[in-house]
Structure 1
Amino acid sequence: MDIKKLLAQQVQEALTDIQLITDKPVTVRPAVRPEFGDYQVDSMMALGKLCGENPLVLAARVADALMKNSHSRTMLARAEAVAPGFINLFLRDEWIIDLTGQAANDERLGVARQNAQHIVVDYSSPNVAKEMHVGHLRSTIIGDASVRTLEFLGHRVTRVNHIGDWGTQFGMLIACLEIAENQGDISLSDLEGFYRAAKKRYDDDPGFALKARAYVVKLQQGDAWCREMWRKLVDISMTQNQQNYDRLGVSLSKDDIRGESFYNEMLPEIVDDLLARGIATMDGETAIVYLDNYRNKQGDPMGVIVRKQDGGYLYTTTDIACAKYRYQQLHADRILYYIDARQHQHLMMAWEIVRRAGYVPEQVTLEHHKFGMMLDKTGKPFKTREGGTIRLAELLEEAVTRAHKLVSEKSPQLAAGELETLAEMIGIGAVKYADLSKNRTTDYVFDWDTMLSFEGNTAPYIQYACARITSLLRKAAATEGPLPETFSGTLSFSTETERALAVKLLQFEETLLAVAKEGMPNIMCHYLFELASMFSGFYASSPVLTHQERSRRQSRLALCALTGKVLSTGLETLGIRVPERM
């Protein structure tokens, strides 16, 4: 249940009851301290200013109206107005217990399915003939966490891996592949090496460069042999990329690939349409769209080239085609792009053309969920000691190696197979969580020591909390017998830590909704860290298996079981695996 939304509706009703009608949304948020209640309303300052009433007086009137409403009283023990105009909301224990019991008995943990939208999510987007590097990590795992969250909430999601599989560089690569085949050496295990060799030959050998340019034309014209060589490069690249996806636990597959080549045949029709409707104009042999909302240094509208003088097309034209296809063919209700911040203006300009042409209506959102860069401890882009780009496969291997060493030191009794599995879960999880826990709009510093710590806001800390709860429930099954099939009538509170833990558990749905709306997995990470920390405090202060009263043991075991389910489900929405023991 989305408690924030429910309370906001009650406050809106209270405003109607005191005859204050407004279309300004009411803001309700979890209270930052227990003495401020469970939730706080901070909208009265703005509303008081609008209606010319003292915010504190208005807050008192609304609080009074809330407590006169019978529906509100089923949820609220009290509502109090405090300066300068906040309303502190204290939930009724009985209501919390009832909702917590419902969540514990529900396979969806009390989370309602949303009215399903069809959402297209564009993420990862590596280039062909180049290995994935650390720069692809953020798009890949932030996008995947968004997809998993949206699907859990009940939306229909189409994943799109928009790979760079088209362009002039493929003439160079095909020419180099032809030479390699003639020499009997067509191994492309080192894609980076192959690409560098092709680029060097292109720069140094005029004859090779001439042949490469000719192959570009043949490829674009559909030459069968060039298309065969091109497909070989794409297949080898994506096979290697899939190994990274599988190790990362990312849900992308080959069926999700939509390369630039996919839209190639749409481009002439789009440019012709833009020209015919006067959206684009010809400057010599070049087709350009001028945008009034973007100005150059001289104050003139900026021009976006959609077809070059030689008849070639640019990334902008392809991105226009992408948006058009995703709405008109896939019938998307919402379109999300996980692309780094440096591409923001490029996307905004492409989408302005899309909107002007009517290819995507205003009610369908086009959202650039941009992200910052991964930095080293000196604040510079994360690279090798030699200054090269770190391959993603190498980064993941080092993470697992470091986790293996850490786990073997902490638990030397583990069997070799279990150690390997655990190291994989912890190492990969640590890398992903370290990234996902940061606000995606900012750069962040990559730090091995911090991300693999069992303390603080890290994956190992939360994974350990899950394993700890699993161990506790295993012991309880041996001493108490199976947990009740239903927790109705089982739960009760005897301490503030029990109550606070239950309230935090009930905030799972509103956390999921915030992640889905903003595309910010760090919101879920923060929630899971707070929940794991609260559970640790609860477990330390509230004996579970050793309490004398069976009813109290059963109630606390119910809270433990629900906490474990919420923590593990939350990690699953982030694409992080949960070990049974650590």
Structure 2
Amino acid sequence: MAHRLQTRALRIAGVAPIKYNVSLQNYSRMRGRTFNKKTVRLHSDSIKSVQSVESLSERKSALFKFEEDNLKASLKSLFTQAVQAAYPENFKEVSLNECANSGLGDYQFNDAMHLFSVVREVGGCDVKSPREVAQNIINMLPVNPFFENPSIAGPGFINVKISDSYISSKILQNFNICEPRERRVNTAENVNYPRVIVDFSSPNIAKEMHVGHLRSTIIGDSICRMLEYKNIETLRLNHVGDWGTQFGMLIEYLNDEHDDFVDTIGDLQSCYKLAKKRFDEDTEFKIRSQAAVVKLQAGDPKMLEIWENVCQTSRNEFETIYEALNVRISERGESFYNLMISGILEELEQKNIAVKSEGALCIFSSFEGTPLICRKSDGGYNYASTDLAAINHRIKYEKADWVIYVTDSGQKKHFAGIFDATERAGWLERCEKSDVRLSHVGFGLVMGEDGKRFRTRSGEVIRLKELLSEAESRCYDELKNRGTSGLSEIEMKQTARKLGIGAIKYADLQNNLSTNYVFSFDRMLDLKGNTAIYLQYAHVRVSAVLDKTQIDVQNVTPQEFRFKAKEERALALHILKFAESLDSSLQDLMPSRICDYLYTLSSLFNDFYGSCKVIGDDNEESRIILCHATASVMRRCFFILGIDPVYKL
């Protein structure tokens, strides 16, 4: 029976046909895969017990290969060489920032002051001021195509201005940029990347997805898109809550009241609430529910049939949400790991990592905090039991090099305990590869404009399906009221959907992940300011320019790109910063940096559009090239954020 239960659980885990993209039919083949040796080192988050001895910056720099056209990384490499040559005995990791005052330059190296204090303290080097240190570093800078004649400002700031010839050459070089779905970067055969597993979304069976699931789903999807954009093998996993004692009471209630069957998630959720109430008040029902759990776990055919129906009904609703959000994810529920738990806990006991305390099996972490209870005093399993089995399976059988969990910040301590136990068990260590890295991406709550948790007026959590529908409806009404020309009724509804869903996604992603954010339809649908609607209008504007020109950007092979106005240069230079924005976002798992980049790009394009004539100008070809590059990079950003761009309004 136990084997049959596992077989059923495996089949249930992969049943979704469209958005659940890793099928269970391929599961046995997945387990048998072999992987090439990888030299990439990954990073964990700030949990002390999982960090290795090397510096955080060293781990991050080895996390993945930076883009070849990462301008900031290239400049940093030059200054690193110069500092090593000028002061080899006092070398430290260098920093490089964008100039706050664009009149002085584009990038600034400001380590000369600190280096001067180190040199003076150590002695053995005759320098009298930070400016002299800065000059010595400049003297050691290798010849390069990026800039000429760096300058020293203030006490020792080194400012560099990217040469116009370099900007022009890179814009031309990237002119034939393809759409993001067709092109990936770093495709050289000798580049070895990690296999990454991202655990996100994770709704509960028999419950509707609500606004609380929105952040995990959107953030996790964006992180996956960044990884996939860089050709990093990524497995998207949905750790749904499909197992546990609560299913006994739900199954018994369905037995009593609904002939074992309901066909909507709303009915299921209502039944769940009524079942819980009866469980708390009716002793006889409670006993029957507990017996039902035992039967389910033993593989009773009738219990399994009801359970499968409950799971499928829930899954149908989840697919509708994922379809609306354009999110791909593979279901791997708690039931998948159920038969693995006892063996995992036995191993942890044998290694003296899990110990019995007051009848329960606990893991006391190597840092202060509440112990991790991995088996309750009554012998039952819980979230920690399943998470330990899951992380072991992902490392041992899925061959993950990096596992990322995207949950609310309230689970930070829980995952700190899981990560700590994983390290102490030796699961992270591998002989021929770098150790496995673990990261927890925590996010804050979604708040209402009243400063309280975002709920309906009656205090209920807001259903995600209704939230998405309202966003679409508001955008449709706005388009209708504005009298948008050139859009059919069908096109207007499609556009409203893109605008509404994109607005919700962007409003979430642009925030600092760890903080709460206020959900406001009025704010996120505003045409002005840092909103998805503002970005979409900028994209529509640049697309309209490309539609109007007589220059065929798909077939032209430009030999020269010239810019005259300062707005042209500012826009062109920012386009070249896309690679560093992407690398920085992935390095720290912060999609908000892509949002910041895209907003600045849109603002710079609007400045250019307002100041520079494009169609009919003597410099039209160069400006069309600039518009084409702008549109291409915009679409790359939209792709990474999971937002469908609008081409006409």
Matched, 1:495 2:495: no
Equivalent residue number for residue 278 of structure 2: 201
Q: Partner amino acid for 2:488?
A: A
Q: Partner amino acid for 2:160?
A: L
Q: 1:229 to 1:51 in 2, by over 3 A?
A: farther
Equivalent residue number for residue 444 of structure 1: 517
Equivalent residue number for residue 407 of structure 1: 479
Match of 1:366, SS? strand
Of the three residues 63, 69, 73, the one matched with 1:5 is 73
Equivalent residue number for residue 215 of structure 1: 292
Q: Partner amino acid for 1:226?
A: M
Q: Is the 8 A contact 1:286 1:307 kept in 2?
A: yes
Cα distance, 1:21 vs structure 2:
4.8
Q: 1:154 to 1:378 in 2, by over 3 A?
A: same
Note the 1:148-227 alignment, pairs <5 A: 148-182=225-259, 188-227=265-304
The count of corresponding residues between Structure 1 and Structure 2 is 563
CA distance in 2, matches of 1:45, 1:308: 58
RMSD between aligned alpha carbons?
1.9
CA distance in 2, matches of 1:44, 1:220: 66
Q: 1:43 to 1:404 in 2, by over 3 A?
A: same
CA distance in 2, matches of 1:110, 1:129: 39
Match of 1:439, SS? coil
Q: Which moved more, 1:279-288 or 1:394-403?
A: 279-288
Note the 1:21-420 alignment, pairs <5 A: 21=89, 24-52=92-120, 54-66=129-141, 69-70=142-143, 72=144, 74-107=145-178, 112-113=186-187, 115-182=192-259, 188-252=265-329, 256-283=330-357, 285-295=359-369, 302-361=370-429, 363-413=435-485, 414-420=487-493
CA distance in 2, matches of 1:341, 1:125: 15
Cα distance, 1:354 vs structure 2:
0.7
Deviations 1:40-80 (A, max 9, x none): 223334433333364333222212322xx22x2x2112312
Cα distance, 1:294 vs structure 2:
1.3
Equivalent residue number for residue 453 of structure 1: 526
Match of 2:148, SS? strand
CA distance in 1, matches of 2:447, 2:140: 52
Q: Is the 8 A contact 1:487 1:558 kept in 2?
A: no
Q: Is the 8 A contact 1:120 1:158 kept in 2?
A: yes
Matched, 1:538 2:612: no
CA distance in 1, matches of 2:118, 2:315: 57
**Does 1 or 2 have the higher relative contact order (CA < 8 Å, sep 6+)?**
2
Q: Where is the helix percentage greater, Structure 1 or Structure 2?
A: 1
Equivalent residue number for residue 576 of structure 1: 643
Q: 1:425 to 1:50 in 2, by over 3 A?
A: same
Q: Partner amino acid for 2:373?
A: I
Q: Is the 8 A contact 1:218 1:226 kept in 2?
A: yes
- Give the share of equivalent positions with the same residue, in percent: 36
Equivalent residue number for residue 595 of structure 2: 525
Cα distance, 1:101 vs structure 2:
1.0
Q: Is the 8 A contact 1:101 1:487 kept in 2?
A: no
CA distance in 1, matches of 2:520, 2:635: 25
Q: Is the 8 A contact 1:188 1:194 kept in 2?
A: no
Cα distance, 1:538 vs structure 2:
0.7
Deviations 1:171-221 (A, max 9, x none): 011112222443876655433222212212222322211111111112222
Match of 1:294, SS? coil
Deviations 1:205-250 (A, max 9, x none): 2221111111111222222221221121111111101101111122
Q: Partner amino acid for 1:398?
A: E
Match of 2:367, SS? strand
Matched, 1:567 2:634: yes
Structure 2 runs not aligned, ≥5 long: 1-68, 121-126
Equivalent residue number for residue 537 of structure 2: 464
Q: Which moved more, 1:57-66 or 1:265-274?
A: 57-66
Q: 1:179 to 1:78 in 2, by over 3 A?
A: farther
Q: 1:284 to 1:390 in 2, by over 3 A?
A: closer
CA distance in 1, matches of 2:264, 2:493: 30
Cα distance, 1:488 vs structure 2:
4.2
Match of 2:368, SS? strand
Deviations 1:247-298 (A, max 9, x none): 112222xxx1111111111111111111112222233643222224115xxx
Q: 1:366 to 1:445 in 2, by over 3 A?
A: same
Q: Partner amino acid for 1:262?
A: F
Q: 1:175 to 1:38 in 2, by over 3 A?
A: same
Q: Is the 8 A contact 1:96 1:503 kept in 2?
A: yes
Q: 1:352 to 1:398 in 2, by over 3 A?
A: same
TM-score, normalised with respect to structure 1: 0.93
Q: 1:249 to 1:22 in 2, by over 3 A?
A: farther
Deviations 1:289-347 (A, max 9, x none): 2224115xxxxxx5322222222122112212221111111111111111100000011
Matched, 1:508 2:578: yes
Q: Is the 8 A contact 2:366 2:420 kept in 1?
A: no
Equivalent residue number for residue 39 of structure 2: none
Q: Which moved more, 1:140-149 or 1:48-57?
A: 48-57
